[in-house]
């Protein structure tokens, strides 16, 4: 259910449109970050499969993946909060 504040001006409509735009931006940003997580995951698996792989690079990629997953979860939660508003 979409709730709007009742006001005598068009400000309520403008803020509603702003929320729709913001939720769209956050949804696309979440998808982009998820693709980045997938890319780092594939790079880490590829590094593990290489002959003579660098363990320091594997560790760095794992840290990047965990950090990106954290950011993706935060952005997804923010998108859900904006959509509920």
- Tell me: the pLDDT tens digits for 8-66? 444 555 676 776 677 778 888 989 999 999 999 999 999 988 888 888 998 999 999 99
Q: How far is CA 61 from CA 9, 66, 77, in A?
A: 51, 9, 24
**Between these two residues, 79 and 71, which has the higher pLDDT value?**
71
In whole angstroms, what is the distance from residue 81 CA to residue 26 CA? Answer: 10
Dihedral angle sign, alpha carbons of residues 62, 63, 64, 66: positive
In whole angstroms, what is the distance from residue 24 CA to residue 12 CA? Answer: 19
53-73 in b/e form (b: 16+ CB < 10 A) is eeeeebeebeebbeebbeebe
Task: Output the pLDDT for position 6.
Answer: 47
Task: Output the pLDDT for position 23.
Answer: 74
């Amino acid at each position: 259910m979409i709730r709007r504040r009742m006001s005598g001006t068009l400000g309520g409509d403008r803020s509603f449109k702003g929320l729709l735009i913001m939720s769209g931006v956050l949804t696309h940003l979440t998808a982009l970050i998820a693709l980045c997580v997938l890319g780092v995951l594939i790079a880490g698996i590829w590094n593990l499969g290489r002959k003579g792989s660098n363990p320091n690079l594997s560790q760095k990629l794992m840290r990047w993946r965990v950090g990106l997953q954290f950011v993706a979860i935060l952005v997804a939660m923010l998108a859900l909060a904006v959509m509920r508003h």
